[in-house]
Amino acid sequence: MGLLIRHGEIVTASERFVGDVYCDGGKIAAVGPGLEKRSSSDEVIDAAGAFVFPGGVDPHTHMELPFMGTEASDDFETGTAAAVAGGTTTIIDLACPGRGQSLLEGLELWLKKAEKAVSDYALHMAVTWFGDKTAAEIAECVQRRGITSFKSFMAYKGAIGVDDDELLEIMAATRDAGGLTMLHCEHGDIVASLQKKLISEGKTEPRYHPVSRPSFVEGEATGRATALARVVGQRLYVVHMTCRESLEAVTQARLRGQEVYAETCPQYLLLDDSVYEKPDFEAAAYVMSPPIRPSGHQEALWGGIRAGIFDTVGTDHCPFFQKGQKEMGRADFTKIPNGAAGVENRLQLLYTYGVCAGRMDMNRFVSLVATRPAQIFGLYPRKGSIVPGADADLVVYDPSGEGVVSAATHHHRCDRSIFEGFKVKGKVARTVAGGKVVFADGKLDVRRGAGRFVKRPAR
Ligand code: URP
Ligand code: ZN
Ligand code: ZN
Is the preceding peptide bond at 337 cis, omega within 30 degrees of 0?
no
Please state whether the predicted TM-score (pTM) of the whole model is above 0.75: yes
Q: Where does the pLDDT of residue 352 fall: very low under 50, low under 70, confident under 90, or very high at 90 and above?
A: very high
Residue 459 pLDDT: 85
288 alpha carbon to ligand 3 midpoint, in Å?
A: 9
Q: Where does the pLDDT of residue 321 fall: very low under 50, low under 70, confident under 90, or very high at 90 and above?
A: very high
The pLDDT tens digits for 100-139 are: 999 999 999 999 999 999 999 999 999 999 999 999 999 9
Residue 178 pLDDT: 98
The pLDDT tens digits for 370-428 are: 999 999 999 999 999 999 999 999 999 999 999 999 999 999 999 999 999 999 999 99
Q: What are phi and psi of 88, to 5 degrees?
A: -105, 120
Is the preceding peptide bond at 266 cis, omega within 30 degrees of 0?
no
Whether ligand 1 lies within 6 angstroms of the CB of 372 is answered as no
Mean pLDDT value of segment 237-257: 98
Calculate the CA 207 to chain-centre distance. 25
390 alpha carbon to ligand 2 midpoint, in Å?
A: 31
Average pLDDT of the chain to the nearest whole number: 98
Which phi-psi region, left, alpha or beta, contains residue 257 (left: φ > 0; alpha: ψ -120 to 50)? left
% of the chain surpassing 90 pLDDT:
100
Cβ partners under 8 Å of residue 202, min gap 6: none
Q: Which atom of ligand 1 is nearest the CA belonging to 72?
A: 5
Q: Which atom of ligand 1 is nearest the CA belonging to 156?
A: 8
**Triad 366, 454, 29: Cα angle to 5°:** 60
Nearest CA to ligand 1 atom 9: 316
Q: Which atom of ligand 1 is nearest the CA belonging to 153?
A: 8
d(CA 82, CA 66): 20
What is the number of the ligand closest to the CA of 183?
2
Q: Are 28 and 339 in contact (CB under 8 A)?
A: no
Q: Which atom of ligand 1 is nearest the CA belonging to 60?
A: 9
Is the pLDDT confidence value at 39 over 90?
yes
11 alpha carbon to ligand 1 midpoint, in Å?
A: 31
Instruction: Name the residue among 79, 128, 63, 72 with its Cα closest to residue 100.
Output: 128
Q: Are 405 and 345 in contact (CB under 8 A)?
A: yes
Run of H or E residues at 363: helix 362-366
d(CA 257, CA 7): 43
Pocket test for ligand 1, best of 61, 62, 73 (most atoms within 8 A of CB): 62
Q: Which residues of 30-52 are buried (b: 16+ CB within 10 A; e: fewer)?
A: bbeeebeeeeeeeeebebeebbb
Nearest CA to ligand 1 atom 5: 339
The pLDDT tens digits for 267-295 are: 999 999 999 999 999 999 999 999 999 99
The conformation of residue 276, written as its DSSP 8-state character, comes to G
Query: Which string of DSSP letters, residue by residue, matches 303-335?
Result: HHHHTT---EE---B----TTTTGGGGTT-GGG
Is the pLDDT confidence value at 246 over 90?
yes
Q: Are 310 and 230 in contact (CB under 8 A)?
A: no
322 alpha carbon to ligand 2 midpoint, in Å?
A: 20
Instruction: Name the residue among 109, 114, 111 with its Cα closest to residue 97.
Output: 109
d(CA 114, CA 111): 5
Cβ partners under 8 Å of residue 356, min gap 6: 425, 426
The pLDDT tens digits for 440-459 are: 999 999 999 999 999 999 98
- Calculate Rg over the CA atoms of the chain: 21
**Domains identified in the chain and CATH numbers:** 55-376 (3.20.20.140)
Q: Are 36 and 24 in contact (CB under 8 A)?
A: no
Coil, strand or helix at 102: coil
Whether ligand 1 lies within 6 angstroms of the CB of 297 is answered as no
Nearest CA to ligand 1 atom 2: 339
Mean pLDDT value of segment 18-29: 98
Whether ligand 1 lies within 6 angstroms of the CB of 93 is answered as no
d(CA 296, CA 273): 10
The conformation of residue 236, written as its DSSP 8-state character, comes to E
Nearest CA to ligand 1 atom 4: 339
Q: Are 179 and 171 in contact (CB under 8 A)?
A: no
